[in-house]
Amino acid sequence: MKVSPTAASAAGPDRVSQRLKHWQSARTWAWLIREAEGLWSEDARFLQRLGAAELLQVVQEVPPRLRRRVNLWLERFHVLTRLQ
C-alpha cells in the first residue's frame, strides 16, 4: 500500500523533530558523563573529588526514559560509567 507524500509528511515532521530532540538529549547526557568521568581520572585529588561529585550528580539527573539510549552513547564514547 502506498502512502501519498502529503499524508506522510503531515505526521512526519513532528515525529522526526521529537526523535531528533530525544537523540540530542541522550547524546548530551552521555557527553556530560564522559567529561565528569575524565575529571575523576586526573591525578590531582581536588579534580578527582570534583569529578566524582559531578559524575554522581549528572548520573542522578538523567531522565529514566533516556537511560537506555544514554548507555548506548556511553558505550560509543568508551566510558566506564553505565546507568541502571
What tens digit of pLDDT does each residue of 1-47 get?
A: 444 455 445 557 788 888 888 888 888 988 888 888 877 666 777 87
Host domain of residue 67: 5-76
pLDDT of residue 59: 86
Report if residue 54 sits inside a domain.
Answer: yes
Report if residue 14 sits inside a domain.
Answer: yes
Rounded Cα–Cα distance for residues 40 and 19 (Å) = 32
Q: Among candidates 56, 68, 61, 54, which has minimal Cα distance to 26?
A: 68
| 7 to 3, 12, 15: CA distances (angstroms) | 7, 9, 13
Per-residue pLDDT band for 65 (boundaries 50, 70, 90) equals very high
pLDDT of residue 8: 47
pLDDT of residue 4: 47
Report if residue 81 sits inside a domain.
Answer: no
The number of domains in the chain is: 1
Report if residue 44 sits inside a domain.
Answer: yes
Report if residue 83 sits inside a domain.
Answer: no
